Amino acid sequence: MPSLAFPTTQDITHIVRNRIVDTQRFIGAAFCPVVNEYVELIEYDVFDASFGMTGAHQINTDPKVVKLPGQSKRRFGTGYWKDSFRLNEEELLYVRKAGTYNQRAGRERVLLRAKQMDDRVETRVEWARWQPLVNGTLTVNENGIQYTVDYNLPAANKPVLTGTALWSDYVNSDPIKDITNWLILFRGTGAKAQKAVFNLKTAQALLQNQKLRDLLKQSGFVASLQFGNIGKALQIFFPELTFVIYDEGYSSDGTDFNLFVPDGKFVLIGGASNSELGGELLMDFASTLSLHNGGIDNPQPGKFAIIEDKSSQEKNPYVDVTVGIYGLPRVYHPNWIVSATVL
């Protein structure tokens, strides 16, 4: 019987990488960029909206002294976000390079773990961005840490539909009327609603809404109305709005899935007309100082990654990968947000 030679190098032509979260699909940075702040606590001034017109004047007299808007100050602590992962001796020693049979890749595994940890940081920042938009607050209750930041969204900007007005009532509810009423909330704020964001579950309710379908009968959309064109169909009624179905989220333990925009939430995001050109921001994520960036003499904001290599210096070798960021969102214009509950 011939002997079978054990292969020395065997190519594996397909590498499967399971990813619950793809951070490339996150959209929060478009309206809430990360901004480095060289501070320990988050503090910012909010100027009230300007109002009034220049008054009529009687020549040869002193002009009337007018009152201009005031300002308020927001101040709260920062958020500390940090995790570590330990690669033990077995993983470092026996890991093979992905796509091969027997090429060792301990260093590559460390970098892979660092990338996975970075995904967790990006997910946390995206989660934080959406909390003011869907809840009006950001609440932390984990690892023995508890706090809530209230972003002072006006009560009128957090409408909750009930009864037959709920969009789950496909016959009686009237989404076009509801959206129109919420757009009116932007009057006098110095901004216009620019984007409407909701998830697939909410989009499904819109697709089945009878009043919406009746309005679309003459448009050519009703026969082929689907998730891919519901936004364009709604733009017939609201041409200045961009409608976005956003179904991204995160898993806390690898078995569940938590949406950034929950089922039944319909969020309107406003902006000034020149915001794309460097004008007023709705909000940002203030990244605060960390000793992990710059050390004790020169701490810096931003994401940080620390790789502690004890693979050759310990009786029980290991490598620790620590990744994190310190910071929280700042909302400069809470009245530029409408967070409606529709299901």
pLDDT tens per residue across span 25-47: 999 999 999 999 998 888 877 76
Q: Which tokens in the block code for residue 303?
A: 């994401």
Residue 86 forms beta bridges with which residues? 320
C-alpha to C-alpha distance for 247 and 130, rounded to whole angstroms: 12
Q: What is the number of other CB atoms lying within 10 angstroms of the CB of residue 58?
A: 8
Region 295-310 average pLDDT: 91
With a cut of 50, say whether residue 130 has pLDDT above it.
yes
pLDDT tens per residue across span 63-94: 888 887 777 778 888 999 999 999 988 888 87
C-alpha to C-alpha distance for 160 and 168, rounded to whole angstroms: 13
C-alpha to C-alpha distance for 273 and 191, rounded to whole angstroms: 7
Q: What is the dihedral of CA 119, 121, 123, 129, to 10 degrees?
A: -150
C-alpha to C-alpha distance for 152 and 141, rounded to whole angstroms: 20
Question: What letter would DSSP give residue 315?
Answer: S
Region 45-67 average pLDDT: 80
**Top-level class of domain 71-341:** alpha beta
pLDDT tens per residue across span 99-123: 554 455 777 888 888 888 999 999 9
- Coil, helix or strand for 189? coil
Beta-carbon contacts of residue 293 (< 8 Å; ≥ 6 apart)? 299, 300, 301, 302, 304
Of the pLDDT bands very low, low, confident and very high (cuts 50, 70, 90), residue 301 is very high
Q: Which tokens in the block code for residue 295?
A: 């050390």
Helices marked H in the chain: 89-94, 106-134, 175-184, 200-207, 210-215, 230-234
Q: What share of the chain is helix, strand, coil (3-state, %, to 5)?
A: 25, 30, 45
How much is the mean pLDDT over the chain?
Answer: 87
Residue 305 forms beta bridges with which residues? 323
Of the pLDDT bands very low, low, confident and very high (cuts 50, 70, 90), residue 96 is low
DSSP string, 48-83: PPP---PPP--TTSPPPP-----EEEEEE---EEEE
Beta-carbon contacts of residue 80 (< 8 Å; ≥ 6 apart)? 324, 326
264: nearest Cα among 189, 342, 330, 323: 342
| CA end-to-end distance (rounded Å), the chain | 70
C-alpha to C-alpha distance for 59 and 36, rounded to whole angstroms: 51
pLDDT tens per residue across span 222-232: 778 999 999 99
For residue 239, which phi and psi values (nearest 5 degrees)? Answer: -65, -20
Residue with tokens 């990360």, as numbered in its chain:
34
With a cut of 80, say whether residue 167 has pLDDT above it.
yes
C-alpha to C-alpha distance for 16 and 10, rounded to whole angstroms: 17
C-alpha to C-alpha distance for 92 and 96, rounded to whole angstroms: 9
Q: Where in the chain are the domains?
A: 71-341
Side-chain half-sphere of 57: how many Cα atoms within 13 Å? Answer: 10
